[in-house]
Structure 1
């Protein structure tokens, strides 16, 4: 799928990639979701399926936090308070820790809720607000949302498919 260039394409990319990810998540045996067998978000690390879903929830919640702060005229610490853009591996570890007490089912519910909240956010914005003005540095809000939703959803789906092939899961 091409990189979204407007509101409609962004909504479609998120919905399509989320649905494909959900399909891959749907038939994973629960007992395998805590095994650290996937390539991690930091070099030379492994993560679990639960960590991967926590990562997606974490980034989705950051989008909502960024938008909330900006809409109130508050300063936003990008990407997150205490983290720099060159520390995204450490931020991934924070997300794993934030959601470590949630089981696979709970994480999936949180991902669905977060994704729906982001879709509502997009719906509340005009195409101009999403794609015709810089929102952070040179990036538009639409691009920031895409970089942290539809693109990671596709990446996660691909990681899971690769893992399933190795595990000989269908």
Structure 2
């Protein structure tokens, strides 16, 4: 399905990709869950996240972290305090460092806790999306603090697109475990 451009599509695709991700996770074997991720032999996997995340917990924490970014950004701006999406001292060029900070902060978080945090934050993000109209989500210029994009594009990025990324990464890990 193409990238959502309506509120209805956002909700449908976010939930669909969430369910796909959860189904994939539910079918992971003990070996897959207990084997640390290692993509070092694949020269195509150059992005920092291929080295950063070592297990399912790390992926769920990453998703949770981006959910929290979105929720905090929207709520802060709605309350009249202008705030950029990527919190200081980071920006769009250095957000990889922010992702590493999410990772570091949660190295002692259990998989069980990370799973609960992820499920709750997914519900919280969709509940927040529900408070907006289709026009508020997918028309440019509605909120000055969104910049040149649409609010909905941030919701898509933090949900359905990120869930696809997570599923793809877990699939690559599963493939590595079978080698």
TM-score norm. by structure 1 comes to 0.89
Query: For structure 1, which segment, 84-93 or 33-42, has the greater mean C-alpha deviation from structure 2 after superposition?
Result: 33-42
The alignment yields a C-alpha RMSD, in angstroms, of 2.2
- Structure 1 window deviating more from structure 2 (87-96 vs 24-33): it is 24-33
Q: Give a deviation string over 1:67-116, Cα, whole Å, max 9, x none.
A: 11011010113312210101121111011122222111111111110000
Deviations 1:12-46 (A, max 9, x none): 11101111111122243388458243568527724
Give the aligned partner of residue 75 of structure 1: 82
Aligned counterpart, 1:167: 177
Aligned residue number for residue 148 of structure 1: 158
- The alpha carbon displacement at 1:141 in A equals 0.7
Normalised to the residue count of structure 2, the TM-score between the two structures is 0.85
Stretches of 4+ aligned residues off by more than 6 angstroms:
none
- Structure showing greater Rg: 2
Contact 2:11-2:126 within 8 A present in 1 as well: yes
Structure 2: which 5+ residue stretches go unaligned?
Answer: 40-44
Q: Distance in 2 between matches of 1:50 and 1:159?
A: 13
